Chain A
């Protein structure tokens, strides 16, 4: 399971069966250029693999006013 802290929504989402950043973005219906993804202080490109139990930040980049 991967825990996602979704910003700016402020939601915490638990995803099962996702092993890569791109899989997480697909589940959240986001394109790679629509959000930055980070693990602790490290930015991750969409091809990076994730390990079960990890927590990541997904921050949408589109400003809405």
Chain B
């Protein structure tokens, strides 16, 4: 099996973005996932978000681990470098890559096995470091490539395809992210692009680590009756708390909103995220409120979605390490080499 090239089809009067590119310019290779896989919808949403933000494809970087979700970095942004690393270790490769060149836009794609079992440690530590990247966790509660074992995000009592119940409590990536200080925490659903695309755009523009946990059903191994990660279950218990729109920096931004209903959050690039509350009394800028709302939703078996927490004030990894804006990989050697005379001086203490 080899990867298939997706045909380039140009339609008349196709919308173009600020770079003059069409949506298809953000495509990648043909997906090899199962028909109806939630991940393909997420891929399409990611491509659309990059298109709508008018990010030059080659100025984006895609990183992933191992698993069905991780394969999808090949299926969008063909003109961007991709790095399909080893299982559960994408966050560390992303951390090094971001450290070397902060001027690019980084998107990581992972799954619940990759992030919550084998990769739990790296996932958590990337959030603690506030690495400037968007991390999309395509969550289906099951190991797809190895054919149907429960993952660590499987809910208590959720049934496997052959009927066995999951008897261990799940790891909820959103609760986990809130507890370790992640600065952008959202949940979406592969079946709701209207909510997901704006979330991805906001996450890409967030300076720091952005997590979007996307419920993305596995049609082959976890879409049956009794599964809590099926399309049917997700649609039934889906609860939108906050809607987020990213508004690019522009002179025309009018800071005009109904206090209490729409909350603007200023981004580092000068843009604004407009949060539309769908839930009374919930302020996503307040971490404790987000945790409490999440706990309440869990109690009621609701899947709380939207931008659940945002903090634009916490320094990202670059700021924490006092790095200059110029990417490390662009600093000329002449500036890095102390020279022979200096070497002589440095050794005075060794005599």
Chain B associates with chain A: no
List residues of A whose CB falls within 8 A of some B CB. none
